[in-house]
């Protein structure tokens, strides 16, 4: 059994017809997911952006990043 939410469909359709960019982004974006992705990307950038010491003698206690954090 398929149940359609006509009010949501009508709102989506009117946003497309009216070319309402802000409303379309609101319908397509989930703030919780966006924040989760931002945190994950920041964590990966910190991990993969580090200078890796080949000799353990050269390894510092604080990580050294290839790009200085802003």
Instruction: Number of helices (H) and strands (E) in the chain: give both, helices first.
Output: 3, 0
Asked whether the beta carbons of 35 and 21 are under 8 A apart, the reply is no
Q: Express each pLDDT in 29-41 by its tens digit.
A: 888 999 999 999 9
Q: How far is CA 48 from CA 42, 45, 58, 63, 66, in A?
A: 10, 5, 18, 11, 9
CA distance 54 to 34: 36
Which residue positions in the chain have pLDDT lower than 70?
Answer: 1-11, 56-61, 67, 69-70
């Amino acid at each position: 059994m398929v149940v359609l939410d006509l009010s949501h469909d009508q709102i989506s359709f009117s946003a497309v017809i009216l070319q309402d960019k802000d409303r379309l982004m609101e319908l397509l974006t989930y703030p919780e997911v966006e924040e989760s992705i931002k945190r994950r990307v920041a964590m990966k950038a910190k991990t993969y952006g580090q200078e890796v010491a080949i000799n353990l003698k050269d390894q510092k206690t604080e990580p050294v990043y290839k790009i200085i954090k802003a």
